[in-house]
Structure formats: C-alpha cells, structure tokens
Amino acid sequence: MDMASIGGVWHEVVGTQPHPSWWLVCATGAAALVAVSVRSVWHVLRNIVTIAHEGGHAFAALVTGRQLRGIRLHSDTSGVTVSRGKPYGFGMIVTAFAGYVTPPLLGLCAAGLLALGHITALLWASIVLLAAILLMIRNAYGVLSVVTTGAVVFVVSWYGSAAVQAAFAYAFTWFLLFAGARPVMELQSKRSRGRAPDSDADQLARLTGMPGLLWVFGFALVAVVALLAGGYWLLHVAVPLLPGR
C-alpha cells in the first residue's frame, strides 16, 4: 500500500459520512431488538456483550493501578477477568462495577459517533478495541471469539459499500444499547434463585456493605439511560419528525 492509499484510508476514517435513510436506522434498530429478544440468536451474539463486559473489567483494573493477569471467555458466554492488587478499596470497586455498564456505555459512545457522521471511525475504533482485548485473552475460545468478531468488522469496513457499512454500524450500535439491559435482568434472575453468589453485584455488596440489589439497580439505570440517550441520538439525525428537526 503506497502513501497515497494510506492517506486515503486515513481521510476516510477521520472524515464524516452521510447519514443513512430513516428507514435503515429504524430497520436496524428493530433487527437488533429481535436479536436481543430471540433466545437462540441472543445466545450466539451474547459473546459480543461478554467481550465488552470483560474488557470493561480489564480497562478499569488497569486505570486504577491493578495488575491485569488476563481474560478468559467461555463457550457458555460467561467470562472472567483476573487482576492482582488489594482485594478491597476503590480500585476493586471500580473494577467490579465496570463490567455490566461497559456494553451500554460503549453503545452510547457509538451512537454519539454515528450522530456526528463518523461511521467508518466507529468501525475502525471497534477493531482497535478488539485488538487491545485480544492481547489480554488467555484461552483458545476467547481468542477465537475475539478474532471472529474483529474479522467480521474488518471485512465490513474494508470491503463493504457505504450502505453496508452504515447498516452494520447502526445495527451494531443498536445491539449494544438494547443488549445492555438483558444481562442485568439475567443476573437478578439468577440471584433471586441463589445461583450467582459471586456475581459482580454480590462482590460489590461485600466490598461496600451496600445491598447487591442496589448495585443491580445501578447497572440497570446505566443501561436504560444509555438506551434512551443513544436511541434519541440515532433517531434524531434520521427521523425528521423528532423535536428539533
């Protein structure tokens, strides 16, 4: 690849792209909602949420000064992030809290990029984040899961037409926004049956003395706010009937 080609790619990444038609924004939102709602589809795509969840734990551990040992992803869509440091205190609390809130917050950031017209930048930012997470993976299934996800995003960003890239970016963003709430509901369902004694919420309860249910509510609040704000941004740039258009 010569310098002119590299410059062209860079210009495409940092530049803006036209907003898609309102029907594509709405259609991708509907498709994402179906993907989160249908159990068989959700079971496959939940791996994406797990990658984001464990990536959130890992990032929080690093920024709070903990020593990150690695991430493991499992075929049942569960995962674990191992870090070393004090088993109490601010760093441990932030690390434990970060998992469930990371997917919806990533969706909110993605919605912000799309609202500004940065479709290509969103796709390449996703590849960079997946590459960073790949460096932390410590098991074969985790490598397969992250590489497969990254490969799909790369193929779309490199070979897809503008319309295909837009459809994928909006579907991906809607999915992160909708998918933020379902794991929280699944968490509380397991907790109510005594099947998640070491969940993030229960770890936070032991660390802070605040009830685990209160932490679940906090996870849910972040997910709902991100969905409402992100959904508004996505629709605001595409649907002319929304206020302010």
Q: Kindly report, residue by residue over 45-92, the tens digit of the pLDDT.
A: 999 999 999 999 999 999 999 999 999 999 999 999 999 999 999 999
| CA gap 194, 136 in Å, rounded | 31
DSSP, res 137: B
Token pair 């070393």: residue: 84
pLDDT for the residue numbered 17: 87
Q: What is the mean pLDDT of each run of 10 residues along the chain (245 residues)?
A: 53 76 94 96 96 98 95 95 93 97 98 95 96 97 97 96 96 97 95 91 96 97 98 82 53
Written as six digits, the tokens of 41 are 């589809």
pLDDT for the residue numbered 239: 66
Written as six digits, the tokens of 137 are 């993976």
Buried b (16+ CB within 10 A) or exposed e, 114-132: bbeebbbbbbbbbbebbee
| CA gap 27, 31 in Å, rounded | 6
pLDDT for the residue numbered 85: 92
DSSP, res 210: S
| CA gap 15, 116 in Å, rounded | 10
Written as six digits, the tokens of 117 are 């017209």
Q: Which class for 10: exposed (0-12), middle (13-18), buried (19 or more C-beta within 10 A)?
A: exposed
| CA gap 51, 76 in Å, rounded | 13
What residues contact 168, with CB distance under 8 A and at least 6 apart? 123, 153, 156, 160
Written as six digits, the tokens of 206 are 């032991």
